[in-house]
Amino acid sequence: MTKLSINLNKVALLRNQRDIGYPSVLGAARAVIAAGAHGITVHPRPDQRHTRPSDVRELAKLVAEELGGRVELNVEGNPTDEFLALVLEVRPAQVTLVPDSPEQRTSDHGFDLEADGRRLEPIIARLAAAGIRVSVFMDPDAAAMPLAREVGADRIELYTESYARAFLAGDYAATLEQFVAAAEAAADAGLGVNAGHDLNLPNLPVFRQTVPQLAEVSIGHAFTADALEQGYAAAVRAYLAALQGWNLDAVMQTLAEQTGRRIEYSEGERAHVFRLEHDREPPHVLHVSYELVDLLGEQGFRDRLGDIVPHLTTQGQSLLVTLTSNRVRAEPAVDL
């Protein structure tokens, strides 16, 4: 399973515009974890334009004490003396080393380990000795992956901006092949594979399905934009679904086509909830369990359409149809 780590830098950036305490980075962390995210990512920069050392300390305390270590904190940054002192103090589960300079708006390239490997090797050893998993931010260059292992990294994070740009242009096959080759080379070298930068709901399913080695994605800018419209919980669920190959727009279109009803979507505690409306008939409600999506993805849902569509086209009464990984249950619905 590919894990989802939510980058909270843009939440901190918005807070810092007024610096009156909200939106709360800590509150956002609690919300996304409650919704199912597997981890939190932050990238404190020297100018403190978004997350600050105080945020890192508070998040580390949250993860260790309030959440009992059941989610991971990933701290990204250029390995300056100040950055290393901070991460060695809080000891997150993972540190991702990124070669960004203070004036950069955002990360825009990976490490050149031919040039930087010797400098990074003792830094990585120091972090590893503190029990911290180390990931190195890398361009999708298959030939460079063994070098990451040689300098002691546990994982690499593929810098995915070029894929996102190609996907937006509608011509991404050749670019995606570079990432496939890089991920395969990393896995062959004994490295875990993370990815991040400009991944979003449209481009994430293809990337996940094509790069099966993917252990973790960290998503911040696109997630924050989606959360502004959908809310934290719904946005987390949408990204988890995208990682599982579950395209909600396509699912809703399929349901509409096969039932002749208007579809409204919401999230339940344990299931995706689809309300099916008709001008002249009572509504139906379909619950698709998160368990089914986790185990079987969108294809698992589509394979069961023949079992559920007859219920969802029943006339004269409202039905609650529940679809799990091993059964379909239809029962009269009340209070719709």
User: Under a CB-based contact definition with an 8 Å cutoff, are residues 143 and 149 in contact?
Assistant: no
Residues with catalytic function = 43, 76, 197
Over its C-alpha atoms, the chain yields an Rg (Å, rounded) of: 22
Q: DSSP code of 47?
A: T
User: Under a CB-based contact definition with an 8 Å cutoff, are residues 127 and 134 in contact?
Assistant: yes
Say how many C-beta atoms besides its own lie within 10 A of residue 84's C-beta.
Answer: 18
CA distances from 67 to 64, 252, 287 (A): 6, 34, 29
DSSP characters over 286-301: EEEEHHHHHHHHHHHH
H helical segments located in the chain: 9-18, 25-34, 53-61, 81-90, 113-129, 145-150, 161-169, 173-188, 204-210, 221-230, 232-243, 248-259, 290-303, 305-312
